[in-house]
């Protein structure tokens, strides 16, 4: 089922009634809208005067809805997910824990191959210099021991934005647009991981004792170019803006329903992410040898 992404950037009172999320005006108690909870996939809260009932929170956790809370700078600051979302949670975690290092190195190689291929497609579609990406693709080793990901990224960002652009978390514009998009994407991937019955903290490659979403950071890599495409489309139409407007956020939240190609089928990205995570589990338990990753249509 295709779920909806909802952004709320004004004062609101959110409550549960008749299995639906009611959006109320706090001062007048007037209903502004309602959405069936079962239709929700992602809810972004971007105002300090939003109140949400505990009953609604529990209902959303039961339906694997990811709730994103934004900070004073209107950037995603935290996400709320259920503790587990699969009936075979403990068995699946055991398979995840028993994954060998050679297996994880091969899975990371596949991940980087998919990422660089999608980055190449972004440059190609924009008419930018993409040919060196083929060389990087051919030289990816197990575990990406030659760091083709980093080398390809240097080329990618130079020819996506400009030769002097530095891709940094706290860097100059348009870094903020990519940061926002990746935060949303990370939340979508984390949701799918929990729903599949795996632990987000146990990554394939990423290992950081301060990071509870290492696996999400791994699996989102081939999906980043789809965020990049939405950001570049926005910048082409709004070349002077540096503000994360409500209009930009609404534009970016389309990422959940963006069509991608996966396993030879066209699927919304939200569904494709679930396919990717499910295929990873099958690699853990020996059913598969390849992770399913998205490609551009």
Q: Are 136 and 148 in contact (CB under 8 A)?
A: yes
How many angstroms separate the CA atoms of 66 and 79, rounded? 7
* Other CB atoms within 10 Å distance of the CB of residue 7: 17
Whether 119 has a pLDDT exceeding 90, the answer reads yes
pLDDT digits (tens, 9 = 90+) for 227-286: 999 999 999 999 988 999 989 999 999 999 999 999 999 999 999 999 999 999 999 999
C-alpha distance from residue 247 to each of 3, 34, 99, 228, 243 (Å): 20, 21, 43, 17, 10
Q: Where are the domain boundaries for CATH 3.100.10.20 in the chain?
A: 4-80
pLDDT digits (tens, 9 = 90+) for 207-221: 887 888 999 999 999
Q: Are 85 and 64 in contact (CB under 8 A)?
A: yes
* Fold held by 4-80: Ribosomal Protein L15; Chain: K; domain 2 (3.100.10)
CATH architecture of 89-284: Up-down Bundle (1.20)
- pLDDT value at position 84? 67
Q: Where are the domain boundaries for CATH 1.20.120.920 in the chain?
A: 89-284
State pTM to two decimals: 0.90
């Amino acid at each position: 089922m295709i779920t909806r992404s909802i952004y709320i950037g004004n004062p609101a009172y959110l409550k549960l009634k008749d299995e639906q999320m009611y959006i109320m005006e706090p001062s007048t108690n007037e209903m502004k809208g309602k959405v069936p909870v079962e239709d929700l996939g992602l809810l972004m809260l971007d105002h300090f005067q939003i109140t949400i009932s505990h009953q609604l929170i529990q209902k959303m956790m039961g339906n694997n809805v990811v709730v994103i809370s934004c900070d004073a700078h209107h950037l995603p600051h935290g996400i709320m997910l259920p503790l587990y979302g699969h009936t075979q949670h403990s068995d699946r975690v055991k398979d995840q824990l028993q994954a060998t290092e050679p297996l994880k190195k091969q899975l990371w190689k596949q991940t980087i191959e998919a990422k660089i291929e999608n980055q190449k497609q972004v440059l190609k579609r924009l008419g930018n210099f993409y040919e060196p990406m083929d060389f990087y693709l051919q030289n990816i080793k197990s575990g990406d021991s030659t760091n083709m990901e980093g080398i390809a990224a240097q080329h990618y960002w130079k020819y996506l934005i400009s030769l002097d652009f530095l891709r940094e978390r706290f860097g100059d514009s348009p870094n903020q647009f990519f940061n926002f998009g990746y935060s949303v994407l990370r939340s979508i991937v984390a949701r799918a991981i929990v729903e599949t019955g795996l632990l987000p903290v146990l990554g394939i490659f990423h290992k950081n004792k301060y990071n509870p979403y290492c696996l999400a950071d791994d699996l989102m890599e081939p999906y980043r170019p789809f965020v990049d495409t939405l950001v570049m489309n926005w910048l082409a139409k709004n070349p002077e803006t540096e503000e994360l407007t409500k209009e930009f956020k609404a534009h970016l939240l389309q990422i959940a329903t963006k069509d991608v190609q996966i396993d030879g089928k066209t699927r919304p990205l939200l569904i494709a992410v679930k396919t990717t995570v499910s295929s990873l589990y099958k690699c853990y338990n020996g059913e598969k040898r390849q992770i399913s990753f998205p490609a551009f249509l």
